[in-house]
Amino acid sequence: MKNKIIYLFILIALTAGLSTLPSCQSGSGNKTAYHALIVTGQNNHSWQESTPILKQILENSGLFSVDVAQTPKTGENMSQFKPDFSQYDVVVLDYVGDPWPEETRTAFEQYVSGGGGVVVYHAADNAFRNWVAYNQMIGIGGWGNRNESDGPYIRWKDGKTVRINEPGPTGNHGPQRAFQVTIRESEHPITKGLPKIWLHAKDELYQQLRGPAENLTVLATAYADTAKGGTGGNEPVLMTIRYGKGRIFHTTLGHVMGKGPFPAVECVGFIVTLQRGAEWAASGKVTQEIPDDFPQFNVTSRWPLFRPMNLDEILDQLREYKPGDNRMPEQDLTNLLRGQYNAGTFDEIEDQLLKFIIGNGSAAGKNYVCRELSLYGSENALPVLHKLMTKEPDVAEMARFAYERISGEYSN
Amino acid sequence: MDHSNKVNRRKFFRQLAGATGAAIALPYIIPASALGKEGATAPSDRIVMGVIGAGSMGTGDMRTFMGKPEVQMVAACDVDKSHREKAKSIIDANYEKSDARIYNDYREFLTNEKLDAVILALPDQWHGIIYIACANAGLDIYGQKPLARTIWEGQQIVDAVQKNNIVWQTGSWQRSVAQFHHAAELVINNRIGKVTHVEVGLPNGTPSQVHNPVQPVPEGLDWDMWLGPAPASPYRGVCHWNWRWILDYSGGQLTDWAGHHIDIAHWGLGLDRTGPVEIEGKGVYPREGLYDVPVEYFITSRYATGVEMTIANARRLEHGMGVCWYGDKGWIHVNRSGIWASDDKILAEKIGDDETKLYYSRDHAQNFLDCIRTRKETITPVDIAHRSISGGLLGEIAMLTGRKLKWDPDKQIFPDDPLANRLLRRPFRSPWKLKGN
């Protein structure tokens, strides 16, 4: 009985668009520019995990209010699944499963061809092999017994998108790993300003997708290394497709299966391209800035909360911090304080940092905060640092480091 | 070997240089009657050398100098037992003897050894303390670039080297290579007209992220001594070579390569004894993994002459790695692979007798040895090394602060940014001090 109640709660929470994930920073109560609908409910992946994450990501952009349309379970009666697509600026597809009712399919086709926006997320390109219009919308797809009769493979070769008409399997991937994504269309609103190459966090690299690929623009590819079970080709990972007046953004990235953490969707590259892709699909333009901590060619970068951490969250993590842990809270503190100081608002948070270093956090966490105080601390920090120099041996050296830099009185 | 009876060899060289003055022609010619059995310098006239920091760079430099018949390598110091034992085996094999001496602690090395000159190839956090200790011990120094981890330490090294009349050569060996010399000489003699802009392309980044856990220190490695004045840190499997990707020990590719390509850029501009007046920069610092040096860097410096310097990852610049000077009549690009210009005719230009001639050397190690005997300035003296690395360190500070900074290259301070001034210096971990060691 208890389990049933919990299950029911989760279901309500999901359909009502709530979740147990950290709440979004932008305040979903505010009026947003666009309305998004996530379609979910069946998948060969953990849609119960991925849908709330997608919702968070969209809301965290500050641009979207997000509803969730959840289908019945596999094999159950689908006839009443009739979301009103026309109410939305963008429909995000996180669904692989039973066919929708014809009425719903027609409504969706009309919504898209009439100028609606769509985001095709990861395994959504596995869905609906036999629905012609859907395959035109996703451009290329995989699995579901697709083969050469569904269209050519699409790859990037010699500086352009090529269609490869040859028989062979459709849709597979090597072992999950971090891999480089290369931007191929750097003037498109979605990709403009992104690093040319960035290292995507551990994910599946879809390959050998094929389909009608009409009106399809490859925005980014990833090299599927033969040593890692790959085709040896540059496989599309970010695409846009035009269907009638509709705009479709297709990302093959973002594998979510089982229990978290899910690095593929924590990747700042995934998050930012999804947010930008959704905005473009909804409006044809992109107004979002590219964050400074976007991954680079040889380093991944993740947002475990699907957005940057705030100071309280960073300090909470530093309180538990010990040598050998992921440096993320350290670097995030550095970046945040630089921004605060240069915006003239460091004074407002110095007390919080001083409280932290005399609090009950780990020595490694305190040492890092002392190090940052050495750069920004005012004279107010000196008495606190002086106390640490005499009272806390594990922090004394870094407290002295900060004390000497702030006071300008160096002992060595 | 009884060191107490050895003449003070450095003094000997100085007296020799003083007595004959400029009459000594390079290379120094030794009478055949004084030649040793290798057909080279007699052992008693050799320049006695040792090395502190005997890793890949230190042993490489050691082999270069042992290839010079006038050098006698006698001792090595390294905080890793395997490094110093390897250094001993290299020295012993070279001389077919077994008397090379090895040390863990540079202080014992300096107390026990009676050297003329020393090779210093250490992680950057150690440069200030050990370079100055060697200068105060009166040793001539072949010191690896970058000169120092901070600008303040660099200033102290310059003072100590100059005060003690030390012959100093920096490992900025590109100055002793024909194409770099040729490029800089063309630029300084206005062959591309007035230079408005110079691009300095440095390597792209660091090795991939590593997430090493804390682990036992390998046997034979004196980790606390390796850290020296750097902040205490548990061992995580990164020490030799890869220390360069951790800010406590290095500024990454930027500061590693400043001593090469910023050095050459300054040379061609005739600005190698000053610095910029304005710097701004943007870096991207990895958020995960052990390495924390920037993987992306883009720095713009402006000099009092009006010339602007861009320092960045090579792939973000038009000509990639190396130095490219842009003048109002063309451009010249140089790196280790070659030299190029907007017009090949520029490269064929000869520099006339009445024009500016830059210091000529085609053998960096030999130039150092020659200067030890003549007491003349080397091709890469200490104050120039300081200005070369300052170009990189100022960029680092601009990125760390995220502000456009004004710099006074004479006083070597940021006149209107006290917080940026804090980054000119790092307090040392106890008990290390720059002075009194």
Q: Give per-residue pLDDT as tens, A309-351.
A: 999 999 999 999 999 999 999 999 999 999 999 999 999 999 9
Residue A339, pLDDT score: 95
How much of chain B is in helix, strand and coil states, percent to nearest 5? 40, 20, 45
Q: Report how far apart, in Å, the C-alpha atoms of B430 and of each of A391, B151, B226, B231 are.
A: 16, 20, 14, 9
Q: Please tell me whether residue A369 adopts helix, strand or coil conformation.
A: helix
Q: Which regions of chain B carry the CATH code 3.40.50.720?
A: 9-174
Query: To 5 degrees, how large is the angle CA B68–CA B69–CA B70?
Result: 90
Residue A11, pLDDT score: 43
**Overall residue count recorded for chain B in this entry:** 437
Does residue B206 have a pLDDT over 90? no
Is A341 close to B427, i.e. CB distance below 8 A?
A: no
Calpha distance A180→A159 (Å, rounded): 17
Q: How far is CA B50 from the centre of its chain?
A: 17
Residue B12, pLDDT score: 59
Residue with the bigger pLDDT between B168 and B45: it is: B168
**CATH top class, domain A2-283:** alpha beta
**CATH top class, domain B177-354+382-424:** alpha beta
pLDDT band at A5 (very low <50, low <70, confident <90, very high): very low
Residue B11, pLDDT score: 57
Interface test with B, best of A177, A180, A183, A296 (most B CBs within 10 A): A296
Region A283-290 average pLDDT? 97
Region A368-378 average pLDDT? 98
Question: Which of A296, A335, A404 faces B427 most closely, judged by CB atoms?
Answer: A404
Pick the residue from chain B with its C-alpha nearest to A402: B427
**Read out DSSP for B111-163?**
HH---SEEEE---GGGHHHHHHHHHHTT-EEEEPSSS-SSHHHHHHHHHHHHH
Is A299 close to B425, i.e. CB distance below 8 A?
A: no
Contacts of A378 (CB under 8 A, 6+ apart): A347, A350, A406
Query: A305: buried, middle or exposed (CB in 10 Å: 19+, 13-18, 0-12)?
Result: middle
Does residue B34 have a pLDDT over 80? no
Interface test with A, best of B287, B316, B403 (most A CBs within 10 A): B287
Is B231 close to A341, i.e. CB distance below 8 A?
A: no
Calpha distance A170→A149 (Å, rounded): 10
Does residue A22 have a pLDDT over 50? no
Mean residue pLDDT of chain B comes to: 91
Write out the two tokens for A132.
């012609």
Which residues from chain A sit within 8 angstroms of residue B231, using beta carbons? 367, 371, 397-398, 401
- The number of C-beta contacts closer than 8 angstroms across A and B is 105
pLDDT digits (tens, 9 = 90+) for B258-292: 999 999 999 999 999 999 999 999 999 999 999 99
Encoded amino acid at B38, one letter? E
Q: Is A397 on the interface with B (CB under 8 A)?
A: yes
Mean residue pLDDT of chain A comes to: 93
pLDDT digits (tens, 9 = 90+) for B179-200: 999 999 999 999 999 999 999 9
Does residue B422 have a pLDDT over 80? yes
Residue A31, pLDDT score: 79
Least confident of A201-210, B220-229, B426-435: B426-435
pLDDT band at B21 (very low <50, low <70, confident <90, very high): very low
Residue B4, pLDDT score: 38
Write out the two tokens for A224.
């599927």
Strand B140-143 relative to strand B168-170, pairing: parallel
pLDDT digits (tens, 9 = 90+) for B210-235: 899 999 999 999 999 999 999 999 99
Q: Please tell me whether residue B4 adopts helix, strand or coil conformation.
A: coil
Question: Which of B214, B284, B287 faces A332 most closely, judged by CB atoms?
Answer: B287
Q: How would you label A223-248 residue by residue, b for 16+ Cβ within 10 Å and e otherwise?
A: bbeeeeebbebbbbbbbbbbbbebbb
Q: Please tell me whether residue B422 adopts helix, strand or coil conformation.
A: helix
pLDDT band at B204 (very low <50, low <70, confident <90, very high): confident
Region B118-124 average pLDDT? 98
pLDDT digits (tens, 9 = 90+) for A140-154: 999 999 999 999 999
Residue B15, pLDDT score: 59
Q: Which residue has tokens 């800010």?
A: B247
Residue range B9-174 in CATH 3.40.50.720:
yes
Residue with the bigger pLDDT between B10 and A235: it is: A235
Which residues from chain A sit within 8 angstroms of residue B236, using beta carbons? 323-324
Query: How much of chain A, in percent, has pLDDT values that exceed 70?
Result: 93
Helices and strands (H, E) in chain A, number of each type: 12, 11
Calpha distance B308→B196 (Å, rounded): 6
Query: How much of chain A, in percent, has pLDDT values that exceed 90?
Result: 91
Q: In what order do the strands lie in the sheet with B71-77?
A: B101-103, B71-77, B47-52, B117-120, B140-143, B168-170
Kindly report the backbone phi and psi dihedral angles of residue A391, in degrees, each rounded to the nearest multiple of 5, phi listed first: -100, -25
Region B167-172 average pLDDT? 98
Region A125-154 average pLDDT? 97
Write out the two tokens for A61.
């952009």
* Chain A nearest CA to B401, separation (Å): 6
Residue B13, pLDDT score: 62
Does residue B6 have a pLDDT over 50? no
Question: Which of B212, B213, B402 faces A338 most closely, judged by CB atoms?
Answer: B402
Is B287 close to A301, i.e. CB distance below 8 A?
A: yes
Is B292 close to A327, i.e. CB distance below 8 A?
A: yes
Mean pLDDT: which of A5-19, A63-77, B40-54 is highest?
A63-77
Q: Is B237 on the interface with A (CB under 8 A)?
A: no
Region B69-92 average pLDDT? 98
Q: Which of residues 42-101 of A touch B (CB under 8 A)?
A: none
Least confident of A29-43, A125-139, A325-339: A29-43
pLDDT band at B84 (very low <50, low <70, confident <90, very high): very high
pLDDT digits (tens, 9 = 90+) for A379-401: 999 999 999 999 999 999 999 99
Question: Which of B213, B231, B232 faces A324 most closely, judged by CB atoms?
Answer: B213
> What's the DSSP call for residue B261?
I
In A210-362, alpha helices (H): 263-266, 268-283, 311-319, 328-342, 347-358
Q: Report how far apart, in Å, the C-alpha atoms of B220 and of each of B57, B106, B225, B232 are.
A: 20, 16, 12, 19
Q: Which of A86, A83, A87 is nearest to A104 (CA)?
A: A83
* Chain B nearest CA to A307, separation (Å): 14
Q: Which regions of chain B carry the CATH code 3.30.360.10?
A: 177-354+382-424
